[in-house]
Amino acid sequence: MPNHILIENKIGKFNKKIFVSGDKSISIRWVLFASLASGISKAKNLLMSEDVLAAIDIIKKFGIKVIKKKNIFIIHGKGLNGYNYKNNSVINAKNSATLGRLILGLLINSPKKIKLIGDQSLSKRDFKRVAFPLTKFGAKFQLKKNFSLPLTICGTKNLKPIKYYEKRGSAQCKSSIIFAGMRTKGKTIIKAKKSRNHTELLCKFLKLPVKITNKKKYDLIEVNKVNKINPLNYQIPSDISSAAFFIVLTALSENSKIVIKKVNINPSRIGVITILKKMGVKIFFRNKNIYRGEEIADICVLSSKKLNSIKCPIHLNSSAIDEFLVIFLVAAKAKGISYFRDIAELNTKESPRLKLASKILKMMGVKNILTKDSIKIFGNPKLIIDRKIVIKNFYKDHRIFMTSVIAALIFGGKWIIHNKESINTSFPSFLKIIKNLNT
């Protein structure tokens, strides 16, 4: 089987109802919380992607039993102190920074050394952003000079609570410190720039001693030692980050409509919707409801002819951080020059996404000006591609692959896109759903 795909035709019109896969952030968090619960937790619609399976492998390594029965995952939690730490164990977070960074918070009390490794892409990413604050709790790290993986952590029983200011808008850093605070006597205080709040919502639902005060620009989070976590049954909603590919595909296709069912529309995740609406995309929410503190809705999108450029407000950056690549495709077709600022974080993701986006847009014939933390995109409502475009050497970044597929289906041209298997990181059914759109 070739590991690339060839796309030579634009997508025809479609009118479909689809389901995209379960939310990655919530799936990983459910696995971690359930592993610490006292008793049996069950999840439906857990995302079956490599990132989540890596989380399951890690908790299994610590002696936690996980069973899959049909489409239900069952985790036999052994309580907060139920991890069986062995000498010199090695855990592998594969491609997932969320898993790698969050699990370190939980390992803060490990009496044994644990080595954390990852795949090639994760091994390039920064771990000092969690290792430094976790050191203040009392954990000891062996880190490489550039603070990437592999690293070794050794925890302590004498944990001290910390005060931590999270300035990046990183939910991974915030969550890692919440986990460490949950294991620590005394009050850990976090001042966090706004970012996705799934960890906090789970703490609230589980009635853990975690207090959150929402301020305009940041949240204050007080974490006290947790003594017990009750089992947590969860029906995982669909992932807005996966839905975003189909939102953009529909918006930029002709005479088409899509309904994406039961998507998580947590306000800290829907920057993509706010941005696209401002640009003129027709998006509506239907059947809104609240589940375990998370907002869920069906997302309805219509082909949208008149698209405006945007000067993207920076307060939306964190809530759209994984969706900028597809948002840039809308900017490529909008009238005028779009400007996205203060997004240097994009270059610290699975690949240097901001730099690669600029390169791919240029290959598509879209003028853009790139700096180290911004991009200006010169939109062209009449953009049609009639050349050959080869996408490879992109660190097997799943979102670069899927964005390229969407670009090929919208703008035409002959595209050869490598590393098809990268979709297994977050959205294994992506290509199957695309195939079914025109049938």
On the 0-12 / 13-18 / 19+ scale of CB atoms within 10 A, 242 is buried
Smallest gap from Cβ 94 to ligand S3P, in A, equals 14
Smallest gap from Cβ 379 to ligand S3P, in A, equals 25
CB–CB of 63/78 below 8 Å? yes
The smaller minimum CB distance to ligand S3P, of residues 22 and 412, is found at 22
The smaller minimum CB distance to ligand S3P, of residues 25 and 403, is found at 25
Residue nearest to ligand S3P (CB): 25
Query: Cα 47 to the chain's mean position, in Å?
Result: 12
Q: What residues make contact with ligand S3P under the rule CB under 6 A? A: 25, 98, 170-172, 175, 196, 321-322
Smallest gap from Cβ 173 to ligand S3P, in A, equals 6
Smallest gap from Cβ 102 to ligand S3P, in A, equals 7
Q: Distance between CA atoms of 102 and 96, rounded to whole angstroms?
A: 10
Smallest gap from Cβ 321 to ligand S3P, in A, equals 5
Smallest gap from Cβ 169 to ligand S3P, in A, equals 6
The smaller minimum CB distance to ligand S3P, of residues 309 and 317, is found at 317
The smaller minimum CB distance to ligand S3P, of residues 237 and 413, is found at 237
Q: Which residues are catalytic?
A: 322
Residue 96's nearest CA partner among 142, 47, 33, 145 is 47
Smallest gap from Cβ 157 to ligand S3P, in A, equals 28
Smallest gap from Cβ 254 to ligand S3P, in A, equals 31
CB–CB of 196/25 below 8 Å? yes
The smaller minimum CB distance to ligand S3P, of residues 320 and 437, is found at 320
The smaller minimum CB distance to ligand S3P, of residues 11 and 31, is found at 31
The smaller minimum CB distance to ligand S3P, of residues 98 and 256, is found at 98
The smaller minimum CB distance to ligand S3P, of residues 25 and 368, is found at 25
